[in-house]
Amino acid sequence: MLNSRFGMFLAWGPELGFLYNDSYAELIADKHPGALGMRFADVWAEAWAELEPLIAQALGGEAVYFEEMPLVMNRKGFDEETWWTFSYSPVRDEIGDIVGVFCATHEATQKVLGERRDAAIKARQQRLFEQAPSFIVTMSGVEHRVDFVNDAHRALFGSHDWVGKTIREAFPSLADPGFFRKLDAVYAQGEVFEASAAEVRYQRKPDLPFETRYMTFVYAPVTEPDGSISGVFCEGFDLTEQVAAVEALAESEARLRHVNETLEQRVAERSRELADAMDFSRLALSAVGGVGVWTFDVGQGLFFCDAAISALYDIDPVAGAAGLTPARFLANLHPDDVAPLKAVMAGGLLTEGDLELEYRIRHSDGSVRHVLSRGHTYFENGEPVRRTGVGIDMTQQRQLEEQLRQAQKMEAVGQLTGGIAHDFNNLLAGISGSLELLQKRLGQGRFGDLERYIDGAQGASRRAAALTQRLLAFSRRQTLDPRPTDVNRLVGGMEDLVRRTIGPDIALEVVQAGGLWNTLIDGAQLENALLNLSINARDAMPDGGRITVETANKTIDARTARAYELAPGDFLSICVTDTGTGMPPAVVARAFDPFFTTKPLGQGTGLGLSMIYGFVRQSGGQVRVYSELGLGTTMCLYLPRFRGEVETAAETEDNVAVDAGAGETILVIDDEPTVRALMADVLTEAGYRVLDADDGPSGLAVLQSSARIDLLVTDVGLPGGMNGRQVADAARAIRPGLRVLFVTGYAENAAVGNGHLDPGMEVITKPFPMASLTSKVAEMLDRPQG
């Protein structure tokens, strides 16, 4: 045993003490030399549960043998899966008693892993072959016994019982036996055979007639590691339709060239040229319904076209038949379409295949034609030789599409206008009625009901302000305060509020992605959007259900970005999913229309989703809806990734009236006298000295004076040729670091920096409680001037 190159050990005595040779020592690695003399059960402790019954069988007098038995072994400091082929034999002493167990073994781990790896590679290869657009068949042995055919092969040649049969048995209907001889030669000589557009006659089924198709294919030998040939691989494409198209196009080209030769002979006379041009119109390929044929000869670098293409591209039909350079053929191309067309044309000369692009042609009469051009590039010996295709006049279709979009736009405007008028008339009725009764009671000296009328007018004013904000959100013009935001933290902070809002009958599950990216967003608006979506989800489940709020990172490629109307790149998503009634496609299509609602009268304004849509779009994102009747709805907000750091926002207190003025001077600029007077009164009562102006130039004149000014409060939209931002910039040129509070009735975001204000600048949106104004002013004046 000790001298054998085969791994052997002897387990001896009552404790089965372990003795082994050098070959076995190599197999057990780090267990040697400590295993010498140890108990069998200790040496193989990690596998003892599997081995003990086998040892017991050998000690009982019965030899055992196993091939490639899997065992977990710890021989290198870690558990690993191994495979072994071994035998256990009983060892007897001089009187015949069994006193030990002898084992001869070798490790089969590499063999098993190699077979598994080979099987996985083969399975993956077969999956790839199965998905290939080309037809594929693999054969082995000198008889070419079929091992595999893919779906494309079966679709083309018929679903014969291929596998296991020789190719001659599986495909006896192949009319030309020359293909079999080529297979024999490839197998015998090891050389690749390629056929280009070969004619193949065969029967898909014995009871069907023979059909003839044209195919390009290759026979390649399958070689083993030792260089021997074990089989043949075949792959190809059916080119029947392409061959027919090439023949038709070749015929067309011949006709075009014939016309060209005829025209060249008669070029001396203009009248004859026109007559020949008419001849060309009759001889060249005719175009039906605004479709014409063109071809580009790569060698000559010339375009040839028929009369329909000449008319569509506004070029001379004589020149089109004679051949035009690309520059002359596309001389009338719209300038905005030059770059994309050149890119497609250049790419089409690198690889064989189909091309498609839509572009515009400008005619000499000032009209513009939309052309859909489809073509195919043909290669010979790896080089492009010809590109042939059609041009389709899409002008009328594009005009109809534009008319439809305009009609839809006008319908939406009408619906929006009607909704605004209805809601604002109701609110104005509440305000004007309350003020009228307030005036009447004051005249009568009746002061008991004044507070009720004041509350009524203020409530209607607040609802009008809220309606305005919803409309501005829909139109993407609301004032936003975008800040770097950790959306997972925001969603987690809202979980309790959402649970209380949706009630106990609906389960809420929040799934937060690990490592979620940050985004630049107005956190308050995002919270409002999330709450609105949760309420909508709740209303869709009157009998209870489940709402899932899930965050995730999304990288959107160019194709998806076009569908989503976004720029490609990194986004994070917040999706709210319910198990409710779902929405039909017609409702999904109108979900974001303002004032559109499916809720009963008085239970919804129809502005919630349109507000969310406008806010997300204004923030550079998108909203997508996925819904199915009876199964529920998912609303996903996609927000652009922000790569900066997120600052932890400090907690803010509710605005309360602040009388903290210490005689500081504030300049108020507003073109609305009532608003300007109200702000001046409130700030004066709060202890400030107030200067005022009614337009930009007047305010700038005050700023250019020697008057002390601690804070500028200016409306953004001002008359007089200067808006509020321009006044503020001019003021800071005179008074560096001047604090500025912008006031706006809607978000002229471009004017105030699209949400990115300089230090020492803030914005407040009308209408606002006067307490908010004094609180904001006090807050800004308390900061160090920078």
Q: Are strands 632-642 and 689-693 parallel, antiparallel or unpaired?
A: unpaired
For residues 564 and 154, give the distance between their C-alpha atoms in angstroms, rounded to a whole number. Answer: 39
**Residue 254: predicted pLDDT:** 66
Confidence of residue 722 (pLDDT cuts 50, 70, 90): confident
Q: What is the pLDDT of residues 277-316, one digit of tens each?
A: 333 333 333 333 468 889 999 889 899 998 889 999 999 9
Q: Which two tokens stand for residue 70?
A: 């899997």
Tell me the mean pLDDT in the region 352-357: 80
φ, ψ (nearest 5 deg) of residue 592: -100, 5
Confidence label for 783 from pLDDT (cuts 50, 70 and 90) = confident
Q: Give 584 or 268, the one with higher predicted confidence.
A: 584
The pLDDT of residue 714 is: 92
How far is residue 100's CA from residue 228's CA, in Å, rounded to a whole number? 49
Q: Is 471 a residue whose pLDDT tops 60?
A: no
How many whole angstroms from its chain centre is CA 426? 44
Give CA torsion, residues 17, 18, 20, 24, to 10 deg: 170
168-183 pLDDT, tens per residue?
888 877 756 678 888 8
pLDDT tier at 53 (50, 70, 90 boundaries)? Answer: very high
What angle (nearest 5°) sits at the alpha carbon of residue 686, between those of residues 684 and 692?
Answer: 30
Does pLDDT of 604 surpass 70? no
Helix residue ranges per DSSP H, 608-669: 608-618
Alpha carbon distance 747, 468 (integer Å): 11
For the segment 687-698, the average pLDDT, to the nearest whole number, is 90
pLDDT in tens, 306-335: 888 999 999 998 888 889 998 888 899 998
**Cross-strand partners of 296:** 303, 387
229-238 sheet: strands from edge to edge: 145-149, 135-140, 229-238, 211-223, 193-202
Please check whether residue 70 is in contact with residue 51, taking contact to mean a CB–CB distance below 8 angstroms: no
Q: What is the pLDDT of residue 640?
A: 92
Long-range contacts of the stretch 296-300 (C-beta < 8 A, 24+): 296/326, 296/375, 296/386, 296/387, 296/388, 297/323, 297/385, 297/386, 298/349, 298/383, 298/384, 298/385, 298/386, 298/387, 299/385
The least confident of 72-76, 151-155, 157-161 is 157-161
Task: Let me know: does 252 contact 293? Beta carbons within 8 Å.
Answer: yes
Q: What is the pLDDT averaged over residues 197-221?
A: 83
Please, which pLDDT band fits residue 430 given cuts at 50, 70 and 90?
A: low
- Give the pLDDT of residue 408: 58
Please give the pLDDT value at position 304. 92
Q: How far is CA 623 from CA 357, 436, 591, in A?
A: 29, 44, 11
The β-bridge relationship of strands 569-578 and 518-521 is unpaired
Q: Are 508 and 549 in contact (CB under 8 A)?
A: yes
Q: Which fold has domain 132-238?
A: Beta-Lactamase (3.30.450)
**Domain 242-393 homologous superfamily, CATH:** PAS domain (3.30.450.20)
In this prediction, residue 559 carries a pLDDT of: 79
Candidate from 71-85, 90-104, 381-395, 475-489 with smallest mean pLDDT: 475-489
> Among 346-360, 364-378, 720-734, which stretch is predicted with the lowest mean pLDDT?
346-360
The mean pLDDT of the chain is 79
Tell me the DSSP string of 733-761: HHSTT-EEEEEESS--TTTTTTT-PPTTE
Q: How confident is the model at residue 112 (pLDDT cuts 50, 70, 90)?
A: confident
Alpha-carbon distance 665 to 712, whole Å?
Answer: 9
How far apart, in whole angstroms, are the C-alpha atoms of residue 67 and residue 70?
9
Read off the pLDDT band of 655 (50, 70, 90): very low
C-alpha to C-alpha distance for 327 and 324, rounded to whole angstroms: 8
pTM above 0.85, yes or no: no
DSSP 662: -
Ranges of each domain in the chain:
7-113, 132-238, 242-393, 402-474, 483-642, 665-782
**What does the block give as tokens for 504?**
């106990």
Q: What are phi and psi of 273, to 5 degrees?
A: -60, -45
* CA nearest neighbour of 375 among 366, 384, 367: 384
Percent of the chain past pLDDT 70, that is, above it, reads 77
CATH of domain 7-113: 3.30.450.20
CA distance 664 to 781: 9
Domain 483-642 has CATH 3.30.565.10: yes
Q: What is the DSSP letter of 324?
A: B
Residue 273 banded pLDDT, cuts 50, 70, 90? very low
Q: What is the pLDDT of residue 654?
A: 44
- Closest-CA residue to 671 (of 612, 631, 614, 714): 714
We find that the CATH architecture of domain 665-782 is: 3-Layer(aba) Sandwich (3.40)
Q: Quick one: average pLDDT of 701-722?
A: 88
Beta bridge partners of 194: 218
Burial (0-12, 13-18, 19+ Cβ within 10 Å), 220: middle
Residue predicted with more confidence, 476 or 518: 518
* Cα distances (angstroms) measured from residue 344 to each of 315, 390, 487: 22, 15, 41
**d(Cα 658, Cα 668) in Å, to the nearest integer?**
18
Question: Is 242-393's fold the same as 665-782's?
Answer: no
* Mean per-residue pLDDT, 459-482: 58
Residue 339 banded pLDDT, cuts 50, 70, 90: confident
Residue ranges of alpha helices (H) inside 545-607 are 558-564, 585-589
pLDDT in tens, 742-767: 887 654 544 455 456 788 888 887 77
pLDDT given at position 741: 92
Question: Does residue 268 have a pLDDT over 50?
Answer: no
Give 647's DSSP letter: P
Q: Give me the percent of the chain exceeding a pLDDT of 90.
A: 20
Helical (H) or strand (E) element with 770: helix 770-782
